[in-house]
């Protein structure tokens, strides 16, 4: 379907990746993986035709429709959500209008033998063949199902797109791409702005429609569910395996072990052969044997061992003072914005050592309750913070409080204490600030980089209650592993707002479900909660 031949991208005098070739086949569901900065988004832009490579080419058949969802996009204002989503079918409406116009000309013209008349017949025939090859669509129903699946309410359909945040606008654009049913779908971090229910809906949609897709995502559960092939960019090379990401990692580890053994055997052979040459190179009776071994070494094809990512180090929190038994206590807590009730009647007691996930659709009050705990918002009811509680709080806007004039290294060096000071460079590498990046001034960092830096700084301070609001949005899989390990071994209390199921699995032991203005406590892990909720939903369908 799409062939990539000898693709090279050079940036700043060095190659991001070099001489990469592969083919995207019909019905391939591909995970494009690699560390942040490896070139994944660049590759996707080249496939989408919005960026040119330094060398090489991408061959896309003329009748192949490619749709691309970048990480950052703004929907135009001036339409309702439904009207904007309806633009997905604009090409079909254009075809219908054109066919109607041409048919009208055929009915009214009388120059039946003219070249113009024959040209109209040919165009009508070609358009009709293309139009009627497309399966019949109930436009309104398809739009409704897609918007509901991506988390919109029916009452949102008539609201202006300008009323929605960037994350919700991205959902509108995603809905449009899915409805167009392109031949190839290119998705860059599609789950970043979705809640768990919407992610599950998207998974089912892509799998059920057997959609050809190339996706960049750091959501392991999502990637494993939808993909059957993995392309990983590492060290400028491309590794291609016909399995999902988790299975790919296992196969790559096996392959590297085999390569390592072969390399060690070859090094032993080279050492022994070199020793023989050195020992007998002046001995007349051994001349032929020496020359034979020299030629053997010259022709020897050296075994290469795949590069391995060693950035995943073990991060442990500094010791923190012990808090009281109940770090957070709520009684009849409620919060409204203007006339809209977000949460009400919240009665919860969080115990020391609890690890809790706040889950629910976007807009149901997860971040609102967090901000109430942080005393950033006034609220109704009683909300008390327990004895000796030291709160560490991370939200997407926390990056703005970092001193812009410090370097990345200085930012972490200022808060690191004890043994951790000897590991600052390793920590920075694990959070994707390795090498020269540690000397960058904060002021030149991107929003995502600042967010990662703010999160790392938070982890190095002695808190006994951590509240993390979407901490994994700008982290790659290796960095998420570092963070998850640290949080699993954190002996304080944890509240985390996240839609990343793989990250939450094995980390939290309670789930607080937000919905309909209520907060319901579930004493179980994330997958147990999700499986039971799925069963409940099925029972509701049977009623």
The average pLDDT across 504-524 equals 93
Task: Tell me the CATH number at 390.
Answer: 3.40.50.300
Query: How many CB atoms neighbour CB 85 within 10 A?
Result: 29
Task: Give the largest Cα separation in the chain, rounded.
Answer: 102
In a domain, 316, yes or no: no
Q: How far apart are CA 249 and CA 33, in angstroms?
A: 11
| Residue 542: per-residue pLDDT | 45
Answer with the residue of higher pLDDT: 80 or 477: 80
Give CA–CA dist 168/170, Å, rounded: 5
- State the pLDDT at residue 416: 82
Taking only the tens place, the pLDDT of each residue in 175-190 is 999 998 889 999 999 9
Integer Cα distance of 140 and 89 in angstroms: 11
Interatomic CA distance for residues 73 and 166, integer angstroms? 8
- Is the same domain home to 88 and 223? no
Lowest mean pLDDT across 165-179, 281-295, 389-403 = 389-403
Pair 454, 406 in one domain: yes
Cβ(408)–Cβ(439) below 8 Å: yes
CA distance from start to end of the chain? 45
Is 509 part of a structural domain of the chain? yes
Residue 380 lies in a domain: yes
DSSP strands (E only) in 52-102: 55-59, 66-69
Q: What are phi and psi of 6, to 5 degrees?
A: 60, 40
Q: Are residues 482 and 399 in the same domain?
A: yes
How far, in Å, CA of 372 to CA of 382, rounded? 11
Inside any domain, residue 248: no
383 with 237, same domain: the answer is: no
d(CA 459, CA 318): 8
Q: What's the pLDDT band for 74 if we cut at 50, 70, 90?
A: low
Please tell me whether residues 222 and 159 are part of one structural domain. no
User: Could you tell me the sign of the dihedral formed by the alpha carbons of 530, 533, 537, 542, in that order?
Assistant: positive
**Paired tokens of 361:** 């659709």
Q: How far is CA 331 from CA 102, 344, 376, in A?
A: 69, 10, 18
**Within this chain, do residues 498 and 464 fall inside the same structural domain, yes or no?**
yes
> How far is residue 491 CA from its own chain's centroid?
29
Question: Given pLDDT bands bounded at 50, 70 and 90, which one contains residue 322?
Answer: very high
Q: What is the pLDDT of residues 467-503, one digit of tens each?
A: 999 898 878 888 888 889 889 989 999 999 999 999 9
Taking 50 as the threshold, does the pLDDT of residue 541 lie above it? no
- The one-character DSSP state at 35 is -
Domain containing residue 275:
260-299
- Count helices and strands (H / E) in the chain: 17, 18
Contact 186, 47 (CB under 8 A): yes
Among 251, 278, 299, identify where a domain stops.
Answer: 299
Mean pLDDT over each residue of the chain, to the nearest integer: 87
Tell me what pLDDT residue 167 has: 82
Name the token pair of 412.
Answer: 């972490």
Residue identified by tokens 């070859």 is 266
CA distances in angstroms from 56 to 21, 23, 366, 489, 539, listed in the order given: 9, 14, 47, 47, 54
pLDDT greater than 90 at residue 309 = no
Given a cut of 90, whether residue 334 has pLDDT beyond it is yes
Q: Average the pLDDT over each of 322-326, 385-389, 455-459 and give the range with the smallest value.
A: 455-459
Mean pLDDT of 201-215: 92
Residues 6 or more apart whose CB falls under 8 angstroms from that of 268 comprise none
Give the H/E segment covering residue 44. helix 40-48
Q: What is the DSSP letter of 374?
A: T
Residues 392 and 438 in one domain: yes
- Shared-domain flag, residues 511 and 428: yes
The reply to whether 319 falls in a domain is: no
Residue finishing a domain among 137, 164, 181: 181
- The verdict on 335 and 467 lying in the same domain is yes
What is the tens place of the pLDDT at every residue in 21-33? 999 999 999 999 9
Which pLDDT score, from 0 to 100, does residue 543 have?
41
Residue after which a domain boundary falls, among 163, 181, 199: 181
pTM, 2 dp: 0.77
Do residues 164 and 200 both lie within one domain? Answer: no
Question: Residues 294, 341: one domain?
Answer: no
> Is the predicted pLDDT of residue 409 greater than 80, yes or no?
yes
Confidence of residue 297 (pLDDT cuts 50, 70, 90): very high
Residue 309 forms part of a structural domain = no
307 inside domain = no
- How many domains does the chain fold into? 4
Could you tell me if 480 and 460 lie in one domain?
A: yes
CA distance 178 to 205: 9
pLDDT band (50, 70, 90) for residue 123: confident
Query: Does 384 fall in a domain?
Result: yes
């Amino acid at each position: 379907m799409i062939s990539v031949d000898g693709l090279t991208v050079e940036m700043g005098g060095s190659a991001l990746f070099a001489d990469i070739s592969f083919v995207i086949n019909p019905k391939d569901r591909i995970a494009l993986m690699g560390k942040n900065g490896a070139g994944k988004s660049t590759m996707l832009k080249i496939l989408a035709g919005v960026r040119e490579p330094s060398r090489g080419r991408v061959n896309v058949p003329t009748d192949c429709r490619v749709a691309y969802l970048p990480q950052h996009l703004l929907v135009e204002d001036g339409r309702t959500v439904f009207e904007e989503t309806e633009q997905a079918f604009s090409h079909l409406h254009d075809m219908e209008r054109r066919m109607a116009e041409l048919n009208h000309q055929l009915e009214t013209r009388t120059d039946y033998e003219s070249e113009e008349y024959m040209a109209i017949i040919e165009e009508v025939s070609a358009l009709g063949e293309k139009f009627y090859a497309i399966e019949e669509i109930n436009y309104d129903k398809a739009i409704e199902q897609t918007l509901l699946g991506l988390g919109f309410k029916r009452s949102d359909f008539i609201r202006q797109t300008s009323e929605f945040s960037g994350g919700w606008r991205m959902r509108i654009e995603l809905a449009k791409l899915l409805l167009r049913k392109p031949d190839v779908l290119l998705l860059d971090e599609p789950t970043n702005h979705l809640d768990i229910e919407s992610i599950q809906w998207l998974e089912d949609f892509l799998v059920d429609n057997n959609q050809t897709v190339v996706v960049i995502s750091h959501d392991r559960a999502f990637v494993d569910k939808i993909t059957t092939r993995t392309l990983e960019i590492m060290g400028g090379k491309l590794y291609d395996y016909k399995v999902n990401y988790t299975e790919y990692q296992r196969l790559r580890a096996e392959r590297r072990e085999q390569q390592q053994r072969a390399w060690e055997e070859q090094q032993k052979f080279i050492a022994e052969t070199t020793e023989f040459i050195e020992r007998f190179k002046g001995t007349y009776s051994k001349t032929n044997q020496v020359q034979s071994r020299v030629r053997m070494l010259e022709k020897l094809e050296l075994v290469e061992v795949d590069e391995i990512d060693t950035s995943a180090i073990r991060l442990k929190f500094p010791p923190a003072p012990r808090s009281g038994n109940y770090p957070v206590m709520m009684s009849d807590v409620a919060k409204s914005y203007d006339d809209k009730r977000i949460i009400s009647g919240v009665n919860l007691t969080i115990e020391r050592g609890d690890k809790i996930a706040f889950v629910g659709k976007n807009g149901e009050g997860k971040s609102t309750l967090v901000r109430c705990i942080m005393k950033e918002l006034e609220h109704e009811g009683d909300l008390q913070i327990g004895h000796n509680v030291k709160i560490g709080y991370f939200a997407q806007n926390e990056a703005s409080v970092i001193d812009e004039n410090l370097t990345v290294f200085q930012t972490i060096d200022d808060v690191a204490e004890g043994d951790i000071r000897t590991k600052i460079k390793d920590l920075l590498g694990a959070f994707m600030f390795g090498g020269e990046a540690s000397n960058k001034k904060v002021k030149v960092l991107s929003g995502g980089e600042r967010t990662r830096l703010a999160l790392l700084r938070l982890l190095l301070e002695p808190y006994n209650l951590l509240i993390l609001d979407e901490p994994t949005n700008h982290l790659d899989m290796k960095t998420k592993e570092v963070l998850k390990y640290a949080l699993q071994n954190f002996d304080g209390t944890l509240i985390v707002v996240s839609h990343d199921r793989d990250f939450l699995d094995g980390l939290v032991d309670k789930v607080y479900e937000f919905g309909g203005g209520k907060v319901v406590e579930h004493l179980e892990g994330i997958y147990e909660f999700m499986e039971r909720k799925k069963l409940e939903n099925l029972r509701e369908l049977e009623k």
